[in-house]
Amino acid sequence: MTSKPYQDLSTRQKLKIKARNRHRRRFFEHVSIESYECPSCQRPFPSSDTRVWEVHHRDGDALNGHPTNLVALCHRCHKRTHAAVRIKAELDRWKASIEDLGTDANATDSGQAKLTDYIQEASA
């Protein structure tokens, strides 16, 4: 019997929930849990319980369970990884909005540099 909140989820969200444990099992079919360490912080887990590991999808697609797309991280490093991805996405959006301000309309005939020129110099 399914619960009401599960029924309210989108099809993609339901698939992600079902895929999570399958991807964890798939990852540890190819890796020994006894000798595995978090690749980010080298933290070993004393337990052979794979539930303490969070499987991260390198390409960001939670439905892509290909073994080369999966990496097991400790909870702390997994959260940091997702935070870094969000921060990078925010920075990319911010840079795009700034670059939009530097269109040719912002350059004057007196030879004033465009805002995009300053962004490119700062990035170099």
Residues 7-53 pLDDT 10s: 778 888 888 888 888 888 888 888 877 788 888 898 887 666 666 78
Whose tokens are 């997702």? That residue is 82
pLDDT at site 36? 84
> What is the pTM for the complete model shown?
0.59
User: How many CB atoms within 10 Å of residue 44?
Assistant: 12
Kindly indicate the confidence band of residue 115, based on its pLDDT and cuts at 50, 70 and 90.
low
Q: Parse the chain into domains and list their residue ranges.
A: 1-73, 79-124
pLDDT at site 14? 84
Kindly indicate the confidence band of residue 1, based on its pLDDT and cuts at 50, 70 and 90.
very low
Task: List, as one string, the DSSP characters of 43-80.
Answer: -B-SS--GGGSEEEETTS-TT---GGGEEEE-HHHHHH
24: tokens are 């964890």
pLDDT at site 49? 62
